[in-house]
Structure 1
Amino acid sequence: MGDLSGKVALVTGGSRGIGAEIARTLARHGAAVGLTYHSAEDQAHGVEKEIQADGGRALAIQADNADPEAVRAAVQATVALFGGLDILVNNAGVFPSGPLDEVTLKDVDRTLAIHVRAVFAAAQTAARHMTDGGRIINIGSCLIERLPGPGMTLYALSKSALTGLTKGLARDLGPRGITAVVVDPGPTDTDMNPAEGPTADFLRQFIALGHYGQARDVAGMVAYLAGPGGRHVSGSSILVDGGFAA
């Protein structure tokens, strides 16, 4: 995956699940890591302390992704402490689901604010500090490629928007040597979507490999893209879904 020593990363939604594993993995490869959390303060500081105990540098930052100014402030706090920013991982998210008739415009506005507006605000602010070789990695979802059932229209809408946003970032920032990529996880064993949860058997039948992924599978792809191996990958969507969308 390559050495990230001397690099600085910010992972939004880094207190648990995939985000926490991304933060740990980037730190293990040498990056200093800022990680945001909304309400899981104890978990976020746990990840921070774990990284520090392993000899790394980390900063847990409270930031609600629904508030673009909080997201921008998290970027600035990371830059202020660590002296720059090389890698931005937009991971923070929610999972709205339910019958279409019950989705409100308030639900739409909040979901798009968290999944799209916050990503734009973070990328725009981060790009002002990045130099040649910067990386913007957005965490999407395999559900943009295959919806196995009803009730996920709003989620699929919001994650699909990341594809266009990422392609635009790739074009706008490419001349500066900054890449932009979407990583689309499939069903992944986390506390939000446990491999033995109530919907697990239904989802598992669509996975070509027959089993849920682990957070480390997604984190490994992010670390690869953040390192030297990702230098010529931009504007792309990469599935890490065990063949869910095959």
Structure 2
Amino acid sequence: MTGLLNGKTAVITGGAQGIGLAIAQRFAAEGANIVLGDMNAEQVASAATSIGAEAVGVAADVTKADDVAALLRTAVETFGSLDVVVNNAGITRDATMRKMTEEQFDQVIDVHLKGTWLGMKLAAEIMREQGSGAIVNMSSISGKVGNFGQTNYAAAKAGIVAMSKAAAKEVAAKGVRINAIQPGLIRTAMTEAMPQAAWDSKMTEIPMGRAGEPDEIAKVALFLASDLSSYMTGTVLEVTGGRYM
């Protein structure tokens, strides 16, 4: 442990599994207190327990301002500060534009775009008062290139990039940094459920010839959350193995 986040408190949404949980584990190993937010109360409590005494889990729907506010308040009330927020919660409702329902479009925009906006807005209000803080938003390479069957997801993920840059300009003078990550193909339960043919097709697009691991996203999130990136805000880091460079 190098203690890059010693004494810091980090909130991670979508933290009960996959990339969110990997980020939480990496942050905890670097000395951070952790507050996990997730829709599944049982799962998020279990994830927090697996991390240890320095972690708490909170059931939260990121599309509801009251839930997000309560999640962030838990960090301040439990650990005394709010230093890092990772807006990672997400869903997919993939379908071609012709078959996609209005509900499927709205659900994805709500969770990714509105959920990230609420996380940024409410976190920034707390962070600007204390004069410091780092916000990390999770975009996707789909927001750069637009994957087939993802008009909803690609739009939301592209929106997160523009939104991060606009918000970063607003709070930079207050000591708050906002950056985004665009993961490529990462090995999670969600991606491993893809048909083998789809997986093989994506692999041919990756110069490094392999999928990424959740911890490889977590290490980049750590960089953006810590003082290693103290002069970076409004940036987007692609973590894709070279895919679509």
Give CA-to-partner distance per residue, 1:77-111, whole Å, 9 cap, x none.
22221111000000000112111112222222221
Indicate the percent of aligned positions where both proteins have the same amino acid: 28
**What is residue 163 of structure 2 aligned with on the other side?**
165
2:109, 2:156 within 8 Å by CA — same for their partners in 1? yes
| Structure 1 gaps, min length 5 | none
**In structure 2, do the counterparts of structure 1 residues 195 and 205 end up closer, same or farther at CA, with 3 Å as the change threshold?**
farther
TM normalised by structure 1 equals 0.92
Aligned counterparts of 1:152 and 1:111: Cα–Cα separation in 2? 10
1:43 maps onto 2:43 in alignment: yes
Aligned counterparts of 2:93 and 2:229: Cα–Cα separation in 1? 31
1:34, 1:78 within 8 Å by CA — same for their partners in 2? yes
**What is residue 3 of structure 1 aligned with on the other side?**
4
- Residue 118 of structure 1 aligns to a residue whose secondary structure is helix
Selected match of 1:114 from 77, 97, 111: 111
1:73-152 equivalent positions in 2, closer than 5 A: 73-130=70-127, 131-148=130-147, 150-152=148-150
Give CA-to-partner distance per residue, 1:146-192, whole Å, 9 cap, x none.
245x2111110011000111011111110011110010100000001
1:95, 1:155 within 8 Å by CA — same for their partners in 2? yes
Compute the RMSD of aligned alpha carbons.
1.7
Aligned counterparts of 1:157 and 1:68: Cα–Cα separation in 2? 22
2:62, 2:119 within 8 Å by CA — same for their partners in 1? no
Give the counterpart letter for 1:240 in structure 2: V
Offset of 1:63 from its aligned partner? 0.7
Offset of 1:69 from its aligned partner? 2.2
**What is residue 181 of structure 2 aligned with on the other side?**
183
Offset of 1:132 from its aligned partner? 3.1
- Residue 222 of structure 1 aligns to a residue whose secondary structure is helix
Greater CA drift, 2-11 or 188-197: 188-197
1:141, 1:185 within 8 Å by CA — same for their partners in 2? yes
- Residue 170 of structure 2 aligns to a residue whose secondary structure is helix
Aligned residues: 241
**What is residue 232 of structure 1 aligned with on the other side?**
231
